[in-house]
Structure 1
């Protein structure tokens, strides 16, 4: 039953082998307890016929009352026995689901954890190639489809196999002709279910896509309601939404039509088997080859086989979908990160940073971000990198944190190549404030303490003061326990940046990287933050990346990048002395912009 792609889950099945083997045992026991009552029903029917005949045979005699009592006791005995076996079968069915279905849930949990852990090990280039929606679907929808194969798929397939192995020989032993004619419609039923189920699944996928499109449109409309109102596009938006809802409605009605045919078709094919059993069985009874009890037994067998055979078409569809989903999961799990430590060096960093003829090309886009860049930051010093948008400033920070590896050249920290450091050791000692601020949907306290294994209230408060956001936070009704909402939506742009700076400072890192982290604050707040950072930067290697000249005044040295190359390098005074230099041009342009804004 498993295919090549699904062979990847065998390791999980082996981990829970006792659940699997227990499930097989309970499938066999529950099936045996399904078959025995059918035979008891045959004995009961035959007993009733014989009892009625005997009762009439002894009519008018004293023995008739004894026959009646004996007949009643036997019927009661068989009835109680059938009820007892049904209860016992129910217990085994419970344990069957508690083993096989629980096994599938445990494997689903393990797979989700495995995929999530693997996601986190992959480099940033992986996330630039794949959308968030695709990543989410593989860890939720695809894993769910694999679980359906591991749980219901395997369970119903085992039931079918065991039933056929046990029931069909019993039926053949009673009457070959009746058996063959009775089970003849069942393969047709299975094939029909397979094709109808595939059609249902396809239409369900279409509905999900239509729903996702409608949901996305609605979310964007609500998020951008101010834009909609200001451009007076409400009617146009309503018309587009109506188109989306009509598409969803049409697809839903189409699925409902197929579902409406599904169960009547099953009942029709099952009914054919029942009619054949009664018709052919009746002829055999007339011929004296079988009894009426045998017809009742066969009808029970047909009904027993109907659901597993029906499920065979369904489980075949499940296997197909699980195979496709597991292939998508395997595609991600087979991707390996090339950001691994060569020597696993773990040591305390002093902060002597050297870029030696570093060039870098983004692997997914082919954009050459840095070209033969060389510089050094001495321990405890501050270097500023400034330049126009797209000049390669942020790439320097990404390479130093080893989010990417250099294409050529090398980067050393304290004389050790960053590729030789343990990734955990290197990144734990770097405080990185990224250009794109991201806050988690949690309270401010947990966002600031995110990088600490053991939260410290005193360090958290001091980090907030150094980032000039402490006064803002304590003015909130819930202070540091204020929820910031999705991606920090309840905070202003400047507040989000300052909370992000506090998150980096609370680690008390050996190397501090500020990647355009003051772009959303005004000049007054920027000066207050920079004044606070003077204490933090003292005796700490710092890298300030910005497109604003005003943000780099604390730097000992300034690098000017243009199109991935260093075009100027020196102090503020030295760079301003170069009349035709890019730094001076940026400075004068920003002065003019500030004058206009005032």
Structure 2
């Protein structure tokens, strides 16, 4: 029952719908009391030979009219009640998605994708079901049960009513115990379903790798184990669930037995008529639904409560990065980076130390260094995925922590080292950040990213569906489409995180030339392993172990002993060997 208290904010807000549905349920409950009363009148009239055929037809007509009115009223309250519960589903999913979109990358290290999907779908459905069917069964069973009890005790016999209700307290205690067991077991079952969902999601997204390594049987075994575990936990839920109805039917059977024994004794001694006993038995039959409904209500509410606790635990998590209140000026500004020290949450040692750089509009900054040197970490804190405890980053002289996240990130266009494409057309993937962009603008961005000709060679050109995660495209094509997507935004600051690693040298050179022309007045930050991508940069930071080991322009760094010089010579040698190999193959042909 605690779920109703937890959702009280929504019930209060939507009180008109819920109050209207409750009012109609009360009317329906009262109307349902008429048929047993009428049947008792007919039985007594027929027994005493006081009722003619016309009277029977009239009373039957009243019962039919009552049935029609009840049908219409049930239709109206379902629209009111379930309309309100479905609106709750919309709001919960919107809040859930908004919460996910506000979370930093660290949040997704702690929560698996399959689990998040399960909470947004299955758990929300359980809560909504409880807010609809749960409220219905609670009100309907209480109103109907209380109305029937009042009529039975006041209109027929309070002694017989008391006798018939003797099994009910025992039934209530047993059902409460079942409800507590169901809450715990269903929570475990939902967690197992999340694991199964996560296993499914991972298998589907990595199916190419699974097939390439011949791991189908191994993955099938892991999935079967997860499915068995989920099945076993759901079976434990079903075992508790299966105890509700037998308990209720035993209680109802005992009530009927006591009613027939006690009622027969009262009829025999003239304290009750046969018609009244018939009405009482019919009223007792009406009590079957309230008792079944109460048990069902306990069932679905406990399931909803377990699901709600999983949803609330996630919605209650505060974002790792707090939103600011200021909006930066609309004109282009200077980006100042001053990091004394930065550590990831829970890390024992800093990931960045002593990094200071200032970028004016129109300048290009290059980042390079061995794997794990801190390049992507620096780009993450520029995007405010994490905040810096020691130091700050300023834009227009305003610390990023004081800026609104949406206003700051709207000034950025980012291409990550693992480009992501949606299962949509090429044109829609490029226009992701500007859905209203014209075809001409989309093509211009594609030309700047040097992917226009590749797109035209696709079966339907810009209308070609790229498949799940761009499965039908090469790595270089996906990177260049992602670059085109970023360029179409016309953002003030462009960030490329090793976004040219999958393209050849000639294509890379052409893209960089286009970026240089496009970037006039804009700030460009490029992190790359291939040093030729940084040749146009105004300044290059060579990062090692989270700090700046060298800095300068391409020519000066190439002539300076150190990591940059060694890596540049190695890459030049590698490029020369590749050209010789291509030349030999061309000569043999």
Matched residues in 1 for 2:280 and 2:546: separation? 81
Structure 1 residue runs without a partner (length 5+): 55-69
Moved more, 41-50 or 327-336: 327-336
8 Å CA contact 2:179–2:298 kept in 1: the answer is no
User: Does residue 73 of structure 1 match 2:54?
Assistant: yes
The match for 1:179 is: 161
Shift of 1:216: 6.2
Matched, 1:31 2:12: no
Aligned-residue offset at 1:449 = 1.2
The alpha-carbon distance between structure 1 residues 123 and 324, as it changes in their structure 2 partners (threshold 3 A), is: same
Residues 148 and 318, structure 1, Cα contact 8 Å, conserved in 2: yes
What does 1:368-517 correspond to in 2, within 5 Å? 368-452=350-434, 454-517=436-499
Aligned residue in 2 for 1:127: 108
The TM-score normalised by the length of structure 2 is: 0.88
Shift of 1:513: 1.1
> SS of the residue aligned with 1:441?
coil
Unpaired runs of at least 5, structure 2: 582-589
Question: Are the equivalent residues in 2 in contact too, given 1:347–1:425 (CA < 8 A)?
Answer: no
Distance 1:187 1:428 in 2: 63
- Give me the whole-angstrom Cα distance separating, in 1, the residues matched to 2:97 and 2:141: 35
* CA shift for structure 1 position 7: 3.8
Q: CA 1:234–1:128 in 2, change beyond 3 Å: closer, same or farther?
A: closer
Looking at structure 2, the residues matched to 488 and 482 of structure 1 have their Cα atoms a distance apart, in angstroms, of 11
Distance 1:338 1:249 in 2: 36
Structure 1 residue aligned with 2:586:
none
1:134-145 matches, cutoff 5 A: 134-145=115-126
2:587 is matched with which residue? Answer: none
Q: Which residue of 2 aligns with 1:105?
A: 86
Matched residue SS, 1:110: helix
Segment of structure 1 superposing worse, 359-368 or 224-233: 224-233
| 1:534 lines up with 2:513 in the alignment | no
**Quick one: distance in 1 between partners of 2:223 and 2:110?**
30
| TM-score w.r.t. length of structure 1 | 0.87
2:48 paired residue among 28, 35, 50: 50
Cα deviation, residue 182, structure 1: 1.7
1:292 equivalent in alignment to 2:274: yes
- What corresponds to 1:85 in structure 2? 66
Could you tell me which residue of structure 2 aligns to residue 553 of structure 1? 535
Indicate the residue corresponding to 1:9 in structure 2.
Answer: 7
Q: What SS does structure 2 have at the residue aligned with 1:368?
A: coil
Which stretch has the larger CA shift, 280-289 or 524-533? 524-533
Q: Is the 8 A contact 2:115 2:197 kept in 1?
A: no
Change (3 A) 1:472 1:367: farther
Q: Among 561, 565, 587, which residue is 1:584 paired with?
A: 565
Q: Is the 1:193–1:310 contact (alpha carbons within 8 Å) kept by the matching residues of 2? A: no
Q: Alpha carbons of 1:401 and 1:220: their partners in 2 closer, same or farther (altered >3 Å)?
A: closer
CA distance in 2, matches of 1:325, 1:215: 16
- In the alignment, the residues of structure 1 paired with residue 176 and residue 577 of structure 2 have an alpha-carbon distance, to the nearest angstrom, of 71
Shift of 1:20: 0.9
Helix, strand or coil for the counterpart of 2:287? helix
SS of the residue 2:62 aligns to = helix
Identify the range of structure 1 (585-594 vs 400-409) with the bigger mean alpha-carbon deviation: 585-594
Q: 1 CA distance for matches of 2:219 and 2:496?
A: 41
Q: Give, in angstroms, the shift of residue 189 of structure 1.
A: 4.2
The CA distance in 1 between the partners of 2:152 and 2:538, in whole Å, is 93
Aligned-residue CA RMSD in angstroms?
Answer: 3.1
- How far off its partner does 1:252 sit? 7.5
Matched, 1:354 2:336: yes
Q: CA deviation at 1:214?
A: 6.4
Deviations along 1:246-305, whole A, 9 cap, x unmatched?
Answer: 667777777777777765554444333333322321221111111111222122222222
Displacement of 1:208: 6.7
Q: CA deviation at 1:175?
A: 1.8
Please name the residue that 1:319 is paired with. Answer: 301
Once structures 1 and 2 are overlaid, which stretch shifts more, 208-217 or 149-158?
A: 208-217
Residue 61 of structure 1 corresponds to none
TM-aligned CA distance change 1:444 to 1:188, over 3 Å = farther
1:479 deviates by 1.7
Q: What are the within-5 Å matches in structure 2 for residues 198-347 of structure 1?
A: 263=245, 266-337=248-319, 339-340=321-322, 342-347=324-329
Q: Deviations over 1:292-324 (max 9, x none)?
A: 112221222222222222222232233333333
**Residue 358 of structure 1, CA deviation:** 4.1
State how many pairs are aligned. 578
- Secondary structure in 2 aligned to 1:435? coil
- How far apart, CA to CA, are the structure 2 residues paired with 1:240 and 1:535? 52
State the SS of the aligned residue for 2:7: helix
Instruction: Judge conservation of contact 2:449–2:511 (CA < 8 Å) in 1.
Output: yes
Q: Is the 8 A contact 2:183 2:306 kept in 1?
A: no
Q: Is the contact between residue 342 and residue 389 of structure 2 (CA under 8 Å) also seen in structure 1?
A: yes
Corresponding residue SS for 2:47:
helix
